[in-house]
Structure formats: structure tokens, C-alpha cells
Structure 1
Amino acid sequence: MVDEQNIYEIALTKLPGLGSQLTRLLVSYCGSPKAVFESTTGKLLKIPGIGGGKAKSILDGAKSALLEAEQVLKQAEEMEVQPLFYTSPKYPDRLKQIADAPVLLYYHGNSNLNQTRIISIVGTRQITSYGQNVTERIVEELKQYNVMVVSGLAYGVDIVAHRAALQAGMPTIGVMASGLDIIYPAAHRKYAERMLTQGGLLTENVFGTKPDAPRFPARNRIIAGMSDCTIVIEAAIKSGSLITADIAHSYDKEVLAVPGNITSPLSEGTNYLIKTNKAAAYTTAQDLVELLNWDLQDAAAAKTKATKLVFDATDFNPDELKVLQVLQQTREEQMDNLSWKAQVPVSLLASVLLNLEFRGIVRALPGKRFMLLQK
């Protein structure tokens, strides 16, 4: 069944002369994509950046844009592709923070594009045995951190990263410079098909779009923008991978580069990034963990999880839960205060606390005070 809202969202991208920023401005002022198409010339002229020519173009092109959008959406439904407008909760949140992010993405896959940890891996198409070994090792090292791997489905480092992620059982996203109906290069179709059930394919390009040269730098901004950090494996001094690293750097994203042989042209780019402080050196996964503070996050999560285990309702009676909920907030409490805050009579509280103490969950302190212990 055709979704009316999706039709208006897609149609916005079919109006001539509207970039991503102006499109977002139109939606913000009008209230919704549908409202843009229902606006009058007078209303459009009140929007900053919309002059008479632009308003006329929007109104004159509305009908054909909507008709084209209907066809696109029908094809999307046939291919099980999700159009993700920037207001969709499924749209990558990390991209929403970037001014030149696409207003609409086409996604075919089964993974959450807002996964907690997302890393981009990019590099040369002429990968060496060193680059291949390093790429596979990096992916294997990242497995324990529940990472999603993003790359561009290209020859070389890209496909090695995707393949390693698939073998490790990790979700991996291929960001394409073409429409989702054109797998490029065609030799990677079998990997692309596997990714549909273990990650997915993502593009800003409508069906039928060919992977022309200018679309690759545009594709690279999505790769850089939707991840927490971009890792460059091997790259020449003038390469698309360095463009991706520069884009990530401009977005205030972290960049890591793998040091390489100083006699290898394919290490010139990565060594240059490190030398100019545009990237930190990647030698082990610990470099990434410390750069993104994953170790601190995991420690905090473990502490929270341990605390939550104390409050499993199936393990405690109602009075015990009341006491534990108070101690979770204060960590330590005097018995009379604890009785009042938990609404448990002092006569009953003594036995409740004794049971919790026997179980190693609370500790009695001098002055009739009790402290919650971490498991």
C-alpha cells in the first residue's frame, strides 16, 4: 500500500533547484512535506531563500514531482526498499547533525542504522596483502565491541572489510554511489545480497542512477557522517579515501589511519594523515577504544547493569524492593530515614535489612546505617 507521506517526501527531492538545506527549511516553515505542496506563492515567499523564481519552480513542478514520486515508491515497495526521510526515526541520527546530509535515503536491509557503535573502514582499491591482513584483523578485533562496519562496497579495502564483517557475524552497511537496483561493481553482488540479511545497502540515489564519478565523493560524505570514526587502511596521497578522511575531519569526527611502509605509495596517504595530525595512528583496537572512550562506556554500563540486577522483581519481595530503590538513590541511609523513605515500618525493616545483608546486597554500618553493595 502506497504511503502518502512517503510520496510527498520523495517528491520534494524531485523539485528542481532544492538542495538539502533549503528542503529542510521548507519543511520547517510549512510544517510537513505535504504542506510544502499545498502552499501558496505568498506563503512560500515568506520563507528565507525562496524568491519569486524558486516559488514558481516549486508550484509549477509539483504535479510532475508527485507523479514521479509515486512510481519511485511503487518500485521501492517491490524491492522491499525503505525510503528514509530525515525526519524518520530510522534515518541515521549521526547524519542529522551534518548540514549537507541527504534529506532522503533509500535503504534495503535489516539492521539499525542508529546502532550504538558504527565504524567506517575505507582504503585503496589496489589493496596489498598487508592491507588485507590489517583490514581483517581490525574487523576481528572490533567484533567484541558490537560494532557495525560501514564501507563503500568497492574493490580493495571496502569489500575486504564487508567480507570480514560478514564472516564475523557483524552487521555491515554498503553505501552506494548508484541506485539500489545497480550493484557496482557487479562482481560484489553475492556479498551485497548477503548484506541484506546482515546489515544492508544504503544510498541517496534513486533507482536507475548510475555510479558516475561525481557521485563517489558525495557517497563518501555519508560513509564519514554516519559513523563515529573513520579508519583508513591504505591510501595513496591523492585518493578518495583521503577525501573521506577530510570530510570526517570537517564533521569533527574521529579519524584513524594505519601506519604503513614508508616506501609504499599506498601508505603515503595514511602516513600523511598521521604526520599532519589529521588522524591518530591505529595499531590495535585499544587505540580506537580509548579514542572513543568505549572502555569507560562499558565500565559504566556494567555498573548500571549490576545495579539493575539488584532490583529484579522476581528475586525480592515488595518490601525489599522498596528498600533497594531508596538505597539505589542514596547509596547509604540511616535506618529511621530508610523506614520513612521506603514506607516500611521499622519493626519490619530490621528483618528486611537482615535478609538483604545475608544475601550480600547491603552492608550494616555503625550508627544504624546501611549501604547498598555492587555485585
Structure 2
Amino acid sequence: MSDQELFYLLALMKVDGVGDIMAKKLLNYCGNAENVLNSKLNQLAGIDGVGSVLLKNLKDKIIFEKADQELAFIRKNNIDVSFFQDENYPDRLKHCIDSPVLLFSGGNIDLKNRKIISIVGTRQITSYGTEFCRKLIEDLALLDPVIVSGFAYGVDIVAHQFAMEYNLQTIGVLAHGLNQIYPRVHKKYMAKMEENGGFITEFWSSASPDKENFVRRNRIVAGISEATIVIESADKGGSLITANLANDYNRDVFAVPGRVTDRYSQGCNDLIKTQKANVLTCAADLIYVLNWDIEKKPQAIQKQLFIDLDPYEQKIYDFLLKNGKELLDIIALECNLPIFRISGTLVNMELKGIIRPLPGKMFEAV
């Protein structure tokens, strides 16, 4: 995008009364932002939602001063800018009616043809939530998903940390401009995240991390991904807003169930009870609902034989080595394991590359 195109887009987005939906109407009608701002008022008066106040605001010269300042900041700091009609704009987010017209990003972000999931939850994450998040990301690691969250306290930063630990791309969606970081204590994670992932925001350098910005930020978290996972949540909170937005965008939502007496399981249990979320007990649940293929790395198959197996996995693996390919029901019967236990275990073993599925619900050791 040229500096001139970006300058006029920035100016348009700074017009009082022009949000993302209205901006898209104006751009669709006029072709580009420069045409919008140079049009005569009577040419725009027929657009749905355009009234006299907005027409007056479109001629406010201060928008050009602000656009010039922001453009200078963008170029000075080598910030990447994505226009909602550009090829480099996140594919899934494009289809959300209220998606940002412009996205600003930093780091090494690659979202093309990728499995993308958002992980959200309470800022008061418990040991139960932490361990579930670690196990989930560990079991999904061979599928190489992109982990998106909000870089906030609690579930957000835990998800980012485990993603980095397992060498997955991870992206923080910010509620402020790229000239700062909030909370400041998380600044220590920035460099590592930017090596493989980075940060995305719709906010200018002049924006502060105000409360309403976090609510706006949540629609990006929900819209950019294939599915949103709520690890833990009280009966109210930003993660529930994100889950509802994901449902509005027709995305899959998952929630981790917990004890009815646990405060930070109430929101998740309610999502499941009201059928706004799928139950998530392990990585296999996510893989099944999203219909993800198990993509193994061929060069790692032999080495995978030396990984640690839990007792259930070891029992199944020993049985398949001895007996060759076998039906799921027979494996369950001979290994004395219930079907609900064996299904998830088999998927985890596939992820580790030590067994492979065959037609007819059969499995064999690799």
C-alpha cells in the first residue's frame, strides 16, 4: 500500500462517526478513501446511515493532521499495515462484518493456510486451568496451530507461554497501539513472541488501554480464528464476550468443564449447559469437532518410539505391536479400557506418531 493510499485511509478512519462498518459502506460506494474525502457532500448524502452531522465531519481538516502523525509513526517503526481488502489480511477476519478496516502488526506473523485457535479465560487462572492449557497445547503441537490470545494476565499469557515452549506461532491481540505494552510486566515476553508470531492491533499509537478497547479487541480474537477455547471463566467476564462473538461469527466454541462449586468454572459450565460451547476435555475433542487431519512429520517417526508414554498408551502400544492392526472395539476389550478412554488416547498416540489409523476404525503401531 502506498503512503498516499494509507494516508487517506487513516484520515477516513479518524472522522468522527465513521466506524468500520460505515467506512466499508463509503469505500464500497466511492472506490477508495481519497474519493470519499474529496467527494461533494451531495454525492454521499444518499448512502444509508450518512446524515448531516457525518457529512460535516468528513470535511474536518484535523483528520489530515492526525493521519499525517500516525503515518509518520508507522513508517518510523516499520509497522506492517493490512487493509481489509488486501491479500495479507487474515482470511477469517475478512468475513466478519465489523472487522477492522486496518490492522497494524509487528513481528513475524504468517496466517496463510494455517490452523488458528484462540485461547481465552479468566485473569485469575488456577492450577487446574494452567495444567489443562499446557496439556492441550502439548498434544496439539504436532499439528502446528497458531495460538491467539489477548496478552493479558491469567489464561492469555499462560497460553502464549506454552505456545512458545512448544515452538508454536503465537499472536497477541492488543487493546492499544504498538507504541506501548500492557500490562507492562509482560514486556519481557515480547521479543520471544516476535521471533515466531507477534502482535496485532486496530488501535493507533494515541490509544490507551482503556476498558472499552478490550471489549473491541475481543472481536478480533474471536474472528481471526477457527475456534475459540475458554479455559476458565467466572459467570461474567471478557472471555464470555469473546465466546459469544465467536458464536455470532459462526465459529466453533469450546469450554473446559469444571466442578459446579468452582468459581472459575461457572462461565464454562454455563456455556456448555446453554449449548453455546462444545465440551473440551482433551485435544482429541477439538480435533474431532474441527475435523483436523493428523499430520505427522515423517522424519520424526523412528524417534517417536522413544518418547514417554502414559500407562494407557503403553498398554495399547504393546498390544498393537504384538497383534498387528486391530479394530478399536477389540483394542478396548483386550486392553480392558472403556471406549471413552481409548478414543482420546488413540488420538493422542496418533499425534505422537506411534500409531496410525486405518479404514474401518482399525489402528496399527508405526
Residue 98 of structure 2 is aligned to residue 107 of structure 1: no
Gaps of 5+ in 1: 303-375
Match of 1:339 in 2: none
Residue 248 of structure 2 is aligned to residue 283 of structure 1: no
Deviations 1:135-186 (A, max 9, x none): 1111111211121000000111100100111111111110111111120100
- Which stretches of structure 1, 4 residues or more, deviate above 6 A after TM superposition? none
Q: Which residue identity lines up with residue 190 of structure 1 in the other structure?
A: K
TM-superposed deviation, 1:115: 4.1
Q: Secondary structure at the match of 2:293?
A: helix
TM-superposed deviation, 1:56: 2.4
Match of 2:136 among 127, 138, 144: 138
CA contact (8 A) 1:182 1:208 kept: no
TM-superposed deviation, 1:233: 0.5
TM-score normalised by length of structure 1: 0.76
Q: Which residue identity lines up with residue 222 of structure 2 in the other structure?
A: A
Residue 140 of structure 2 is aligned to residue 152 of structure 1: no
Match of 2:328 in 1: none
Match of 1:68 among 57, 66, 69: 66
Residue 44 of structure 2 is aligned to residue 44 of structure 1: yes
Q: Structure 2 vs 1, CA of residues 227 and 196 (structure 1 numbering), >3 Å: closer, same or farther?
A: same
Q: Which residue identity lines up with residue 40 of structure 2 in the other structure?
A: T
CA contact (8 A) 1:257 1:270 kept: yes
TM-superposed deviation, 1:53: 3.1
Match of 2:348 in 1: none
TM-superposed deviation, 1:209: 1.3
1:216-231 correspondence runs (5 A): 216-231=214-229
CA contact (8 A) 1:115 1:148 kept: no
1:74-223 correspondence runs (5 A): 74-223=72-221
Deviations 1:78-100 (A, max 9, x none): 22212222122211121111122
TM-superposed deviation, 1:282: 0.9
Q: Secondary structure at the match of 1:134?
A: helix
Take 2:122 and 2:158, find their aligned partners in 1: how far apart are those partners? 11
Take 1:211 and 1:52, find their aligned partners in 2: how far apart are those partners? 32
Q: Structure 2 vs 1, CA of residues 97 and 150 (structure 1 numbering), >3 Å: closer, same or farther?
A: same
CA contact (8 A) 1:256 1:281 kept: yes
Q: Which structure's relative contact order is higher, taking Cα pairs within 8 Å and 6+ residues apart?
A: 2
TM-score normalised by length of structure 2: 0.77
Gaps of 5+ in 2: 299-366
TM-superposed deviation, 1:120: 0.1
CA contact (8 A) 1:8 1:34 kept: yes
TM-superposed deviation, 1:194: 1.8
Take 1:111 and 1:81, find their aligned partners in 2: how far apart are those partners? 12
Q: Look at both structures and tell me which one has the larger radius of gyration over its CA atoms.
A: 1
Take 1:51 and 1:276, find their aligned partners in 2: how far apart are those partners? 40
Take 1:261 and 1:118, find their aligned partners in 2: how far apart are those partners? 29
TM-superposed deviation, 1:2: 6.9
Cα-Cα RMSD = 1.9
Match of 1:35 in 2: 35
TM-superposed deviation, 1:47: 2.5
Residue 240 of structure 2 is aligned to residue 242 of structure 1: yes
Match of 1:360 in 2: none
Take 1:19 and 1:98, find their aligned partners in 2: how far apart are those partners? 14
Q: Secondary structure at the match of 1:66?
A: helix
State how many pairs are aligned.
Answer: 297
Q: Which residue identity lines up with residue 42 of structure 2 in the other structure?
A: G
CA contact (8 A) 1:2 1:73 kept: no
